[in-house]
């Protein structure tokens, strides 16, 4: 969040969108191979070292860990002007369609093919801490008998790993053996529940290219990875789940069943919070926006995030210092009384940690404990209902998860937990912010991603969208909605006025149209989600002060609209 009006964010966020636009990658859908197809790639699992593979600038090697299947995998490390490209020439048949895929882990990874005689295609993924499948398809030309398939990383990024490479299609001669039906998945377990969803995870199966999740014997989801969230469930209801592994040869027997019961429908984390809520940040400083007391915040705001807690000399620990001088003599006693009055009116008041200039760091067990203890102490002293995580300079998913769980154990199930990541932080489930949100989704109230100061970003359909439109809001929200968060845990964060952010302001009408598109399927732009999300939590703004400066135009328009959502 900006302390200084009109200040643009760091260039790294705009760079991410520009990079995607410049690459002009083709996100082609992967075609289905027939049972007679074979894997035309040689040494597809790198069990024979780098035999049949060529890596640029000696960037590739084989390793015994991590591996997805067998005993070896490729490790390739970008360096200087080299992007660690490893390639193989594969024999193919003319006028044929092939499915190209591999599993990757580590830094940015790309997969593609050249020399098809038609349209060369490629796809990519940001860094990933676990194995993730990349796949696309291509068609050969009338005179094409071989193609070059490749994978590579990105300049200045970490090493990537690749395993189980495949070019499935008609036999071009000399490839690996025809696939067999994969084995039955093991280790199926429940990783989280909400009132309307169940999250599952299981062990990978060698040779599998995808997995089918069954709910009470009926197909509920098809995924490429080893986890899935089944949504649209009834509250306080038990369900039985199984999973089967799939590839071109067919589907494995279903796994042993596990049972999960959804939670009670209490509107998500935070107890009596409304089904649809409006969040507003309240500025504990004067940067030219209207100076407010907590009592001045309009009733349309259901969650008031006090910005911000301050770092201390102890790593991870925070404190809160009311800016009495900057807020025209607002005293601590009056502040505490105003917090209690808002709570008596059914509102939640939380302390926000971070902001654009925040320096709080939680990167080990000691700092995680210090964070939990200090935030809980602030909750006790000022009566805060919970905490907001607005760390815009990076976070460690492992230790922030540890800190938030320790805080929840102290504060109890009524604690409000919100997050305000930047757009780049939620582009992929492998990003630290997204991983943290998924790690704590059983205690998470809402993620209000900041749809501003952003530049261009990818939507869930693989297309690039520029900020300032309904499409930007809906296509990026879709990533979170399809990436594992419950709709009740997703909110749209926008500036209250043009002065509230360096870029990305949209009128309240655009905000309301995006809410309608996501919850009702109406008022969409060119992007329309494949389904609606009636339980979407709502919207957030920076800030109640900038809203007041503009005559509360944002909350007067967006607030009633949020509260009238289905």
Task: For residue range 435-458, list pLDDT tens digits in order.
Answer: 999 999 989 999 999 999 988 999
Query: Catalytic: 392?
Result: yes
pLDDT value, residue 7: 42
State how far the Cα of 403 lies from the Cα of 324, in Å rounded to an integer. Answer: 30
**Per-residue pLDDT at 318 exceeds 90:** yes
11 phi and psi angles, rounded to 5 deg? -65, -15
Which tops the pLDDT comparison, 508 or 34?
A: 508
State how far the Cα of 85 lies from the Cα of 124, in Å rounded to an integer. Answer: 13
pLDDT value, residue 450: 96
Beta bridge partners of 125: 109
Residue-wise pLDDT for 74-133, tens only, equals: 999 999 889 999 999 999 999 999 999 999 999 999 999 999 999 999 999 988 888 999
Within 8 A by CB and 6+ apart from 381, the residues are: none
User: 396: closest CA among 363, 355, 349?
Assistant: 363
pLDDT value, residue 297: 97
CA distances from 287 to 21, 323, 490, 551 (A): 35, 12, 29, 17
Report all structural domains of the chain as residue ranges with CATH numbers, in order of start.
Answer: 37-169 (2.60.120.260), 189-261 (2.60.40.10), 266-563 (3.20.20.80)
Confidence of residue 17 (pLDDT cuts 50, 70, 90): very low
Tokens of 323: 């800016």
Q: Do you know the residue count of the chain?
A: 566
Confidence of residue 20 (pLDDT cuts 50, 70, 90): very low
pLDDT value, residue 227: 85
pLDDT value, residue 419: 96
Q: Where are the beta strands (DSSP E) in 320-443?
A: 348-355, 386-391, 416-419
**Per-residue pLDDT at 422 exceeds 60:** yes
Q: Among 17-31, 289-303, 319-333, 419-433, whose mean pLDDT is lowest?
A: 17-31
Query: Is-contact 497 554, C-beta < 8 A?
Result: yes
| Percent of the chain's residues with pLDDT above 70 | 90
The pTM (predicted TM-score) of the whole model is 0.59
**Per-residue pLDDT at 393 exceeds 60:** yes
Mean pLDDT over 305-314 rounds to 94
**Per-residue pLDDT at 223 exceeds 90:** no
CA distances from 323 to 280, 282, 407, 516, 546 (A): 19, 12, 26, 39, 18
**Per-residue pLDDT at 280 exceeds 80:** yes
**Per-residue pLDDT at 23 exceeds 60:** no
Residue-wise pLDDT for 260-274, tens only, equals: 888 765 444 445 788
State how far the Cα of 166 lies from the Cα of 207, in Å rounded to an integer. Answer: 10
pLDDT value, residue 424: 92
Which tops the pLDDT comparison, 36 or 384?
A: 384
State how far the Cα of 361 lies from the Cα of 341, in Å rounded to an integer. Answer: 33
Encode 400-429: b = buried (16+ Cβ within 10 Å), e = exposed: bbbbbebbbeebeeebbbbbbbbbbbbbbb
Mean pLDDT over 140-149 rounds to 94
CA-based torsion, 463, 466, 472, 476: positive or negative: positive
Within 8 A by CB and 6+ apart from 180, the residues are: 207, 249
Out of 177, 178, 381, 392, which one is annotated catalytic? Answer: 392
Encode 346-371: b = buried (16+ Cβ within 10 Å), e = exposed: ebbbbbbbbbbebebbbeeeebbbbb
**Per-residue pLDDT at 247 exceeds 90:** no
Mean pLDDT over 340-345 rounds to 92
Q: Among 2-16, 280-294, 357-371, 510-524, whose mean pLDDT is lowest?
A: 2-16
Which tops the pLDDT comparison, 358 or 10?
A: 358
| Percent of the chain's residues with pLDDT above 90 | 69
* pLDDT, mean over the chain: 88
Confidence of residue 15 (pLDDT cuts 50, 70, 90): very low
Burial tier of 181 (Cβ tally within 10 Å: 0-12, 13-18, 19+): middle
Query: Is-contact 175 38, C-beta < 8 A?
Result: yes
User: 23: closest CA among 123, 151, 148, 160?
Assistant: 123
**Per-residue pLDDT at 330 exceeds 90:** yes
Burial tier of 219 (Cβ tally within 10 Å: 0-12, 13-18, 19+): exposed
pLDDT value, residue 30: 37
Mean pLDDT over 168-191 rounds to 80
**Per-residue pLDDT at 37 exceeds 70:** yes
């Amino acid at each position: 969040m900006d302390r200084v009006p009109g200040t643009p964010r760091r260039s790294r966020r705009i760079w991410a969108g520009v990079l995607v636009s410049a690459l002009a990658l083709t996100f082609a859908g992967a075609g289905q191979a027939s049972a007679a197809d074979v894997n035309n790639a040689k040494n597809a699992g790198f069990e024979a070292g780098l035999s049949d593979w060529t890596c640029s600038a000696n960037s590739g090697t084989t390793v015994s860990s991590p591996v997805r299947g067998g005993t070896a995998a490729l490790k390739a490390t970008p360096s200087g002007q080299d992007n660690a490209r490893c390639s193989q020439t594969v024999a193919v048949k003319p006028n044929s369609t092939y499915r190209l895929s591999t599993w990757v882990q580590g830094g940015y990874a790309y997969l593609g093919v050249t020399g098809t005689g038609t349209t060369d295609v490629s796809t990519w993924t940001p860094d990933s801490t676990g194995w993730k499948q990349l796949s696309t398809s291509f068609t050969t030309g009338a005179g094409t008998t071989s193609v070059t398939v490749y994978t590579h990383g990105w300049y200045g990024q970490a090493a990537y790993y690749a395993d189980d490479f495949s070019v499935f299609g008609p036999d071009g001669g000399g490839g690996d053996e025809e696939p067999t039906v994969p084995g039955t998945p093991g280790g199926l377990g429940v990783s989280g529940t909400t009132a309307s969803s169940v999250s599952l995870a299981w062990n990978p199966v060698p040779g599998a290219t995808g997995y089918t999740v069954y709910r009470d014997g009926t197909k509920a989801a098809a995924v490429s990875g080893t986890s899935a969230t089944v949504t649209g469930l009834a509250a306080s209801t038990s369900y039985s789940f199984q999973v089967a592994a799939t590839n071109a040869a067919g589907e494995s027997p279903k796994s042993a069943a596990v049972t999960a019961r959804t939670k009670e429908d209490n509107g998500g984390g935070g107890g009596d919070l409304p089904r649809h809520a409006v969040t507003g940040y309240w500025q504990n400083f004067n940067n030219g926006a209207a100076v407010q007391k907590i009592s001045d915040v309009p009733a349309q705001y259901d969650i008031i995030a006090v910005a911000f807690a301050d770092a201390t000399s102890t790593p991870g620990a925070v404190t809160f210092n009311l800016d009495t001088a900057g807020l025209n003599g607002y005293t601590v006693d009056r502040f505490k009384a105003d917090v209690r009055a808002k709570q008596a009116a059914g509102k939640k008041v939380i302390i926000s940690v971070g902001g654009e200039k925040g320096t709080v760091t939680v990167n080990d067990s000691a700092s995680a404990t210090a964070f939990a203890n200090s935030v809980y102490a602030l909750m006790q002293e000022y009566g805060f209902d919970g905490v907001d995580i607005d760390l815009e300079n990076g976070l460690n998913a492992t230790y922030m998860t540890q800190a938030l769980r320790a805080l929840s154990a102290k504060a109890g199930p009524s604690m409000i937990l919100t997050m305000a990541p930047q757009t780049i932080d939620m582009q992929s489930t492998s990003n630290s912010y997204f991983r943290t949100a998924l790690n704590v989704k059983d205690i998470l109230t809402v993620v209000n991603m900041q749809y501003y100061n952003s530049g261009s970003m990818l939507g869930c359909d693989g297309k690039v969208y520029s900020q300032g439109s309904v499409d930007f809001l809906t296509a990026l929200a879709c990533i979170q909605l399809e990436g594992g968060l419950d709709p009740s845990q997703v909110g749209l964060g926008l500036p209250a006025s043009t002065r509230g952010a360096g870029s990305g302001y949209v009128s309240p009408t655009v905000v309301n149209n995006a809410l309608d598109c996501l919850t009702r399927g109406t008022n969409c732009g060119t992007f329309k989600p494949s389904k609606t999300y009636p339980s979407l939590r709502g919207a957030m703004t920076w800030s109640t002060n900038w809203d007041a400066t503009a005559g509360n135009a944002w909350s007067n328009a967006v607030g009633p609209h949020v509260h009238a959502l289905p």
